[in-house]
Structure 1
Amino acid sequence: MHTVALAVTDGILPFELAMAHEIFDSAPAGFAGPWYRVALCGSEPVRAGRFLLAPEHGLDRLPQADTVIVPGWADVDRPPPGGLVDAVRAAHAAGARLASLCTGAFVLAAAGLLDGLRATTHWAHTGDLAARYPRVEVDPDVLYVDNGRVLTSAGKAAALDLCLHLVRLDHGSSAANAAARRLVVPPHRDGGQAQFVTTPLPAPRQQPLAELLSWVLERLDQPLTVEDLARRAGMSARNLGRHFRSATGTTPLQWLLVQRIRRAQELLETTDEDVEAVAAATGMGTAATLRRHFNRTVGVPPDAYRRTFRAGGERPGAGRKGAGPDRA
């Protein structure tokens, strides 16, 4: 069973800690197979906001974990605790996958694990992270960054996105979607989506894309174009692109491709349809087109993806020390 260690210390942010525990400690309804074993690791006692925690294990347990989650911590104006930094560095050396939530990126940066890598944190602290750790390529405009064995997220809701992304890597889209449904949150937001938009969005009923997005998701088997979407929305293609960028952080075609790939993942996981049929059901047209986009987006061909998840096994590299998960 894949062990997820939650690394805690005094001053840890309770929301990120509780959210990670909620996702990784309980399998969603209907999930068959091993989920995760969660270990709370830290010095005793640990204060998180107004809560006093008694971790089950010391920080020396981190190198034995498959995945180490470093939640955000409150006081980013002072260096992270040396014991936590050393334990995180040792876990990485032992082959664990490391993921920081919100300001937990300061811990990974202090351990030298973000040097030369692209990373993010809460938008209010990206400037501090870049100034303090100049060897880190800080991206202030994304929800999360996946570097394989080292992942970082922005704050609060983006930390939830990253945790669901890890579930998707380990157990597939169906499991991640089921976990999202239990939490009553969107099943997938791409890591490259903007952390926030400068222009407030209208209320949901007034949001011009709300009905359009639902309409598209019901027709992924059709060869939709930007002109088709613009016509449905009752606006020009240029105006549609502007609304899409504001609401989703991406273009209509990029968003549509991601939805087609996600649908293909679900079909490969849950049906016996061949790749040609999956390509037709997702609007890709041909198996060759599906294979090209799927391999580029997910990192493995559709057939290999199906063999992994239909067999109920782990994603290649996800549970082995010294190997990071495939990119998705």
Structure 2
Amino acid sequence: MQKIILGDVQVLRIVEDQTAFSTVDVLFPSVPDEMWEEHASWLAPHFIDAATREWQATVQTWVLRSAGRTVLVDTGLGNDKNRAVDVFHMRQGDFLDRLAAAGVRPEDVDIVVNTHLHNDHVGWNTRLVDGEWVPMFPHARYLISRAEFDYWNPANGHVPQSPFQSAGDTGATFTDSVLPVHQAGQTVLWEGDSYRIDEDLVLELAPGHTPGSAVLRLVSGTDRALFVGDVIHVPLQVLEPDHDTCLSEDQAEASRTRRRILHQAAATNSLVLPAHLGGTGTLRVTGAFSITDRTLLPVG
């Protein structure tokens, strides 16, 4: 189990799944073949399968111990969920056992941060009990930006841009993984550009991938970190930030947000922790777009 100490905050990485998701030509339609070939030596095998050219998606939750509280950043895929993507559909995974191995029981969780409401970030928000979806973490506050909640609420009729999700699929995700915690009175729908959790943690709006996507900024002592959700899917996007995935609602805005976040990370020497990065799951940038040490990325 990977543990990182950042100032007064302890960070644990809980990997739920690692799987091939899609070929890169589909997922990153603007990236030319020669760019993948140029960087193949360090993208394989932890980020791209060299033989099949499939993106290797890691689904993980970051557990933070901050100011005496337990904070989860994104909750992955979940079990028993009806999903359009086969590898996400009706899973029976051992995530709760992995969480327990880290010393975290569901009732211990104080805060759940959903960086956005795609189905691979909210799955363990709820569990199925006697045919009903109920909050997985009974004492937690679930932090979701108001813009994100309203956008994906099926009552508002938005049709997703991603070819991997239909309105029916996003509606099912909202119904089984978001609405139950809201109806239980456990959501905090924060508004504006930021929301402070404690003296070390603040959520900041980072739209593009979805309208209400957020990053979690950690500042503790001399340490800095950014939990960036889906701002970055593969480290190639650090070198080439203007290339986005077909999963985003607004690819142009997502690229602008990514460039801004990378500049901030470089300027503050912040550790960057994306939601789906393989290897160690983390990276640093120097200058605007350079990876500090690629040899660190495949370890772990």
TM over 0.5: no
Bigger Rg, structure 1 or 2: 1
Which one has more relative contact order, counting CA pairs under 8 Å at least 6 apart?
A: 2
